[in-house]
Amino acid sequence: MTGSPNGARDPETSGARGWGDTVLVDIEDGIAWVTLNRPDKRNAINPGIVWEMNAVLDAMEEDDRVQVVVITGAGDAFSAGQDLKEYFRDVDAGPPLARERLYQANSAWQWRRMMYFSKPTIAMVNGWCFGGAFQVLIGCDLAVAAEDATFGLSEINWGIIPAGIVTKSLAEVMSQRDALYYIMTGETFTGRQAAEMRVVNFAVPAEDLRERTKALADTLKQKNPFVLRSAKTAYHHVKSMPWDSAMEYLMAKSDQTKYRDPEKGDQKGMSQFLDDKTYRPGLQAYDRSR
């Protein structure tokens, strides 16, 4: 199915999976454009989005048409964070067990699932990105922002801390000085500043955002998908390991990847470079079709 990231849901998956209208999916040329769709609320994350995103990720993981997942927002926002009324006040007034289940489901899609998702994920930040949206942003493997997108941690302004896993997310990608500045002041920063602070990989003019995101997704599509998954999983594990443990883990992970890779990419790449001399591994991926 083709169309813009703000287009209709993909009928081949949405009907079968049963998600509603707060998440839209458009599959085009191997890319699943997943759009949070509450533009009147700046795509604030409510229980509907939580349950639907878990269902969407289940569907995208199993769908062979999907090679890369891009997450964005409808209208002028990526996401304004958690919906204060529907996600907090209404849920806090209900049964404690229901609250716990919702919070667990939210953690599942926003960072646990995203960090280790079997396919590459890209956050395409098209506008407002506040609070809880940072969990989604940083949970994605890569991120591209519009230069004029607005980022902020406004929690301090209404008397709470950036909780959930927001503060931990920031500590993963921002320097201590930058993270504490924006946590403590509640000031906003732009997409350009986000790129300078490495919160996103790069920022582009808003009119080029989709095209540049698609180009990045197309680059990922050229890579061996099994090895790509192993590489990002290995990165997340070794970050917290001592050097010796990391070396042992990476050697074992490398052997496991070679053994389990259905494409046998290491053999193809080695042969095309040494024997056929048909490609330069420092500049391009090997030819997966051969």
Q: Residue 266: pLDDT band by 50, 70, 90 thresholds?
A: low
pLDDT at 94 over 70: no
Statement to judge: residues 206 and 238 lie in one domain: no
C-beta of residue 69 within 8 angstroms of C-beta of residue 120: yes
At 149-199, the pLDDT tens digits run: 999 999 999 888 888 789 999 999 999 999 999 999 999 999 999 999 999
Please indicate, yes or no, whether residues 231 and 201 belong to a single structural domain of this protein. no
What pLDDT, on the 0 to 100 scale, is given for residue 23? Answer: 95
With 0-12 CB in 10 A as exposed, 13-18 as middle and 19+ as buried, what is 221?
Answer: middle
Beta-bridge mates of residue 142: 122
> Of the ranges 18-27, 172-181, 259-268, which is most confident?
172-181
Look at the chain and report how many structural domains it folds into: 2
In a domain, 4, yes or no: no
Q: How far is CA 266 from CA 119, 196, 255, 282, in A?
A: 20, 35, 11, 14
Give the pLDDT of residue 180.
96
pLDDT (0 to 100) of residue 277: 65
> What pLDDT was estimated at residue 107?
82
* Structural domain boundaries enclosing 152: 11-221
Instruction: Look at 188 and 262; give whichever has higher pLDDT.
Output: 188
pLDDT category at 278 given cuts 50, 70, 90 is confident
**What is the maximal distance between C-alpha atoms in the chain?**
68
- Mean pLDDT of the residues in the chain: 85
Give the model's pLDDT for residue 144: 98
**Is 134 in the same domain as 150?**
yes
Shared-domain flag, residues 245 and 119: no
243 and 182 belong to one structural domain: no
Measure the CA–CA gap between 170 and 32, rounded to whole angstroms. Answer: 26
Q: What is the pLDDT of residue 265?
A: 57
241 and 109 belong to one structural domain = no
Is residue 93 included in any domain, yes or no? Answer: yes
Q: What is the mean pLDDT of residues 78-103?
A: 72
Position 19 pLDDT exceeds 70: no
How many other C-beta atoms can be found within 10 angstroms of the C-beta atom of residue 249? 14
Per-residue pLDDT, 18: 39
Q: What is the DSSP letter of 82?
A: B
Sheet holding 150-152, edge to edge: 77-79, 128-130, 150-152, 188-190
Dihedral, CA atoms, 146, 56, 154, 162, nearest 10 degrees? -130
Q: How far is CA 277 from CA 163, 247, 287, 289, in A?
A: 53, 31, 12, 16
Evaluate if residue 12 carries a pLDDT over 70. Answer: no
What pLDDT sits at residue 109?
87
Rounded to whole angstroms, how far apart are CA atoms 224 and 221? 8
What number is the average pLDDT over the span 17-44? 89
The reply to whether 88 falls in a domain is yes
Specify the pLDDT at position 87.
58
Q: What is the pLDDT of residue 4?
A: 37
pLDDT at 136: 93
- Tokens found for residue 136: 């989604």
Contact 195, 201 (CB under 8 A): yes
Rounded to whole angstroms, how far apart are CA atoms 88 and 85? 6
Statement to judge: residues 132 and 49 lie in one domain: yes
Higher pLDDT, 39 or 280: 39
Sign of torsion, CA 185 102 199 174? positive
Residue 98: inside a domain? yes
Task: Look up the CATH number of the domain holding residue 186.
Answer: 3.90.226.10
Euclidean distance between CA atoms 150 and 171, whole angstroms:
19
Beta bridge partners of 33: 26, 70
250, 215: one domain:
no
